[in-house]
Amino acid sequence: MISIKTKSELEIMRKACKITAAARALAGEMVRPGITTREIDKAVHDFILSQGATPSFLHYQGYPASACISVNDTIIHGIPGGRVLKEGDIVSVDVGAYWGGFHGDCAATFACGEISPAAQKLIDVTRQSFFEGIQFARQGNRISDISRGVQSYVEANGFSVVRAFVGHGVGTHMHEEPEVPNYVDPRRGPGPRLFRNMTIAVEPMVNAGTCDCRILGDGWTTVTADGKLSAHYENTVLITDGEPEILTVTEGL
Ligand code: MF3
Ligand code: CO
């Protein structure tokens, strides 16, 4: 079942999403050569708690941290630890915060110091693909209209969209219906119709090479099959009968 949020529920979600977006921004500001991913995770964790919220990811299906920090060829679900970031890395940070009974979910990929033009292009195309998708995120359209918007922009720029993981509804649970794929597939059909006051996480995961991925032995870390770079961009989005509203909005991200 796809949940439709009430006006008062949306007020709570706005707040949860505001905390989530601020945690993402904080993490992004910390990305620099010499820092460990664990230090960034700790700052995210402490910030979320300081806001009276809880980190949505911590202990979710056994996940051991508050943020996912995915470097270079890691697509998603990188577990923070002792890895030291170095100049030229690209660093995807995914965070979720739970406040007042609702979740916010967002991610972005950050440059660590100077990065190659090719890496910067991947980050830029990934971010823009989100906006290319959500221009179709309005009442009456189908989920697949968003998917098509993302995929066609990514592929026109010579990159590939990950298929093994998808976006999702978000609300009282971090993962709700419907699935929000970043690709269209006749076997999937057009997906459900969008309705005002649905909230969805739209999250393109974009690879420089093949879309195929592999999960490491820790059961989480998801890397590109060919070892090439990957980027991620995600926001929690409210469907309206007009323009979509980005709930995890941050100045400049
Ligand atoms: N933003 C991710 C998602 O949408 C977060 C899940 S990571 C987990 O699925 F660690 F919490 F599982
Ligand atoms: Co998500």
Cα-based distances in Å from 45 to 42, 80, 108, 155, 203? 5, 12, 17, 35, 22
Q: Is the pLDDT of residue 252 over 90?
A: no
State both tokens at 241: 């009968």
Identify which of 57, 179, 202 to mutate to test ligand 1's pocket (most ligand atoms within 8 A of the CB).
57
3-state secondary structure of 57: coil
Q: Is 136 in the pocket of ligand 1 (CB under 6 A)?
A: no
Contact partners, residue 108, CB within 8 Å, separation at least 6:
24, 28, 92, 93, 127, 232, 233, 234, 253
3-state secondary structure of 244: coil
Smallest CA-to-CA distance from 210 within 164, 160, 163 is with 160
Q: Which long-range contacts (CB under 8 A, 24 or more apart) does 182-188 make?
A: 182/129, 182/133, 182/147, 182/150, 182/151, 182/154, 183/147, 183/150, 183/151, 184/144, 184/147, 184/148, 184/151, 188/144
Identify which of 41, 94, 248 to mutate to test ligand 1's pocket (most ligand atoms within 8 A of the CB).
94
What would the pLDDT profile of 107-119 be if each residue is shown by its tens digit? 999 999 999 999 9
The per-residue pLDDT of the chain, averaged, comes to 98
Name the helix (H) or strand (E) containing 107: strand 102-111
Distance 128 CA to ligand 1 centre (A): 21
Rg of the chain on CA atoms, in Å = 17
Identify which of 48, 58, 66, 68 to mutate to test ligand 1's pocket (most ligand atoms within 8 A of the CB).
68
What would the pLDDT profile of 48-99 be if each residue is shown by its tens digit? 999 999 999 999 999 999 999 999 999 999 999 999 999 999 999 999 999 9
Mean pLDDT, to the nearest integer, of 221-240? Answer: 98
Distance 55 CA to ligand 1 centre (A): 11
Q: Is 176 in the pocket of ligand 1 (CB under 6 A)?
A: no
State both tokens at 128: 């823009």
Distance 166 CA to ligand 2 centre (A): 8
Sheet of 230-232, strands arranged across? 160-161, 205-207, 230-232
